[in-house]
Amino acid sequence: MATAALLKKPVKLALVQLASGSDKTRNLTHARELVHTAAAGGANIVVLPECFNSPYGCDHFPTYAETLLPSPPSATQSPSFHALAAMAAETKTYLIGGSIPELDPSTKKYYNTSLTFSPAGKLVATHRKVHLFDIDIPGKIRFQESEILSPGNKISIVDLPEYGKIAVAICYDIRFPELAMVAARKGCFALVYPGAFNLTTGPLHWKLQGQARALDNQVYVALCSPARDMDAGYHAWGHSLVCDPMARVMVEAGEGEEVVYAELKNEGIEEARTGIPIYEQRRFDVYPDVSQGECRFEDAV
Ligand SMILES: NC(=O)CC(=O)C(=O)O
C-alpha cells in the first residue's frame, strides 16, 4: 500500500563538515564560504555541525555564548544569528545552522542551540539540545555538559513548506530513540542531527546510531560533524553521513573538511514502508504509541 507523500518533491541536502577553530569571526566567514559551495552544488537544505562557531568544550561555552533574546537579537548580541540569516538568504537555502552556545539573559542559563533559517533568511526553528552530553568512560573520555549547560525541553519539528517536515535535534539527542520515533510518527521525512562524536564513541556508535534511527523509523537521517582537528581540545569523529529509510548509508565524509550531498526522495520512504510495512503492523494493543503520549513541541515557559 502506498504511503502518503511525506516528501512533496525531491530535495538535495548538503552536510558541511566544517573545520572551525578558536576565532569566531573566522569561523563565521569560513562557514559562509562553504554554505555558498554547498548551494553552488545544488543543495536546497544545508546543515552545519554542532558548535560550528566555537571550539567544542565546557570551558568554551560561556566565552562563545550569544544572546538570542529578545528575538531577533542585535548583531552585537548574536553575530552568528545574523551571519546564518544572511547565508540562508544569499544562497536561498534552508540552513540548519549546526549549533551555537546560547546564553538566556533572563535566567543566566546556557544552552547548546540550533537555529534554522528559511531561504528568505527568516528564523523558522530553534532547538536547544534536550539530552546533555554527560558521559564518563574511564581512561577514554569524560564530558559533562550539564556542569555548564541547561537542557532544552521540546521536540523540534520544522515545516519546510515546499518539501515537508523535518526534525532537528543535536548530537547526544540521537541516542534517545523516543525523540526520533515521535518526530517520525508526526510525519517528518528526515531527522537532522548536527553532532560531534569523538574518537571513542565515534567509531563505535556514530554510524550505528544514524542507521538505527533510520531503520526504526523508515526515514532519512543526517548527521553533520565538525572536521577532525587533532590540535583542538576535543577530537571530533567527522564522518558526516546520510542514511536512507532502508538504513543504507547514502554518503559518508572522511575526517577532514568536506561537503557531502544526498538527494532525498519520497520513493525512498515508500520503498522501505511498502516492502517492510512496520507502520501498519505495530501493536499498540500490546505497547503504547509514544507519539500519542504527552509530548512537548513548544518551549515550556
Ligand atoms: N557530543 C555529543 O553530544 C554526543 C557524543 O559525542 C556521543 O554521544 O558519543
Q: What is the DSSP string of 43-110?
A: -SEEE--TTTTS--STTTHHHH-B---SSSPPTTT-HHHHHHHHHHHHHTSEEE---EEEEETTTTEE
Read off the C-alpha cell for 269: 520512504
Whose alpha carbon is nearest atom 6 of ligand 1?
Answer: 197
DSSP characters over 142-174: EEEGGGTB----S-EEEEETTTEEEEE--GGGG
Centre of ligand 1 from the C-alpha of residue 172, in Å:
5
Whose alpha carbon is nearest atom 7 of ligand 1?
Answer: 197
Could you identify the atom of ligand 1 that is nearest to the CA of residue 56?
A: 1
Any atom of ligand 1 within 6 Å of the Cβ of 116: no
Q: How many residues does the chain have?
A: 301
Domain boundaries, the chain: 11-283
- Which fold is adopted by the domain 11-283? Nitrilase/N-carbamoyl-D-aminoacid amidohydrolase (3.60.110)
Tally of CA atoms within 13 A in the half-sphere of 152 that contains its CB: 27
Q: What kind and span of H or E run contains 250?
A: strand 249-252
* CA–CA dist 13, 98 (Å, integer): 14
Q: Tell me which residues are annotated as active site.
A: 50, 129, 171
ipTM of the prediction: 0.98
Any atom of ligand 1 within 6 Å of the Cβ of 44: no
Could you identify the atom of ligand 1 that is nearest to the CA of residue 174?
A: 8
Any atom of ligand 1 within 6 Å of the Cβ of 197: yes
Could you identify the atom of ligand 1 that is nearest to the CA of residue 133?
A: 3
* CA–CA dist 51, 245 (Å, integer): 27
Q: 198 and 230 in contact (C-beta within 8 Å)? A: no
Centre of ligand 1 from the C-alpha of residue 200, in Å:
10
> What's the pLDDT at 1?
45
Centre of ligand 1 from the C-alpha of residue 22, in Å:
20
Any atom of ligand 1 within 6 Å of the Cβ of 198: yes
Any atom of ligand 1 within 6 Å of the Cβ of 133: yes
Any atom of ligand 1 within 6 Å of the Cβ of 174: no
> What's the pLDDT at 298?
87
Question: pLDDT of the chain along its 301 residues, tens only?
Answer: 445 699 999 999 999 999 999 999 999 999 999 999 999 999 999 999 999 999 999 999 999 999 999 899 999 999 999 999 999 999 999 999 999 999 999 999 999 999 999 999 999 999 999 999 999 999 999 999 999 999 999 999 999 999 999 999 999 999 999 999 999 999 999 999 999 999 999 999 999 999 999 999 999 999 999 999 999 999 999 999 999 999 999 999 999 999 999 999 999 999 999 999 999 999 999 999 999 989 999 876 5
